[in-house]
Amino acid sequence: MEFVPDDPSAEAGLAALADLLAGPPLPAARGLLGCRLHAGGVTVRITEVEAYAGSGGDPASHAHRGRTPRNAVMFGPAGHAYVYFTYGMHWCVNVVTGVEGEASAVLLRAGEVVDGLATARERRPAIRRDVDLARGPARLCSALGIDRAAYGAYLLGDGPVGLRPPARPVPPERVVAGPRVGVTGAHDLPWRFWLDGDPTVSAYRRHVPRIRP
């Protein structure tokens, strides 16, 4: 649902989303399911997310050891994009949540391309199935053309990268929770949420520590 400033219902929905993001990361993560993220001429409906708590309380969080130039935006205010580079090749995008200063965020793990399909296919030419275009956090960013330039962007405004509430609420019974993917700390916390049965949800892979000789 695209935000139209003079549409009272759209404005109310955006305000409700802002209030949700300003709260704890777990309810915010659940509430982000079904939301739409647009960037680079593509819109994705979010189908899988992963919550990360504030500094000191979550060993898997990038802010666990405190503020750094890389994670500074995580410390708030809520509603901004935390974009980071991983494995030397992939971008991932998070939505900052919670009270300013507490550094919580929700990783957007997967989604369905609902607009700009041709553009997403051009960005992911090796992907054969449309359900795989944004299936995983790196693929999601690639399909949307999100990179470092989106770091710190306010997602609820009218900028080039935007987040909008779903056209209709997601039924609670459709939301499933389970352990986070590929993290070294607190990996068994059920802080990953996804839409049950949605084919765009990424595969679960538990982190396996490397054994060095």
Beta-bridge mates of residue 178: 192
116 domain residue, yes or no? yes
pLDDT digits (tens, 9 = 90+) for 63-78: 877 788 889 999 989 9
150 domain residue, yes or no? yes
pLDDT digits (tens, 9 = 90+) for 181-197: 877 677 788 999 999 99
Give the helix ranges, DSSP H, for 63-208: 117-123, 137-144
206 domain residue, yes or no? no
165 domain residue, yes or no? yes
Domain count, the chain: 1
Question: How long, in residues, is the chain?
Answer: 213
- Strands (E) across 6-135 are located at 36-39, 42-52, 81-86, 90-97, 104-115
CATH number, domain with residue 45: 3.10.300.10
pLDDT digits (tens, 9 = 90+) for 153-175: 999 999 999 999 998 889 999 99
105 domain residue, yes or no? yes
Domain coverage including residue 102: 8-64+72-195
209 domain residue, yes or no? no
> Rounded to the nearest 10 degrees, how much is the dihedral formed by the CA atoms of 155, 189, 31, 167?
90
213 domain residue, yes or no? no
Q: Is this structure's pTM higher than 0.85? A: yes
208 domain residue, yes or no? no
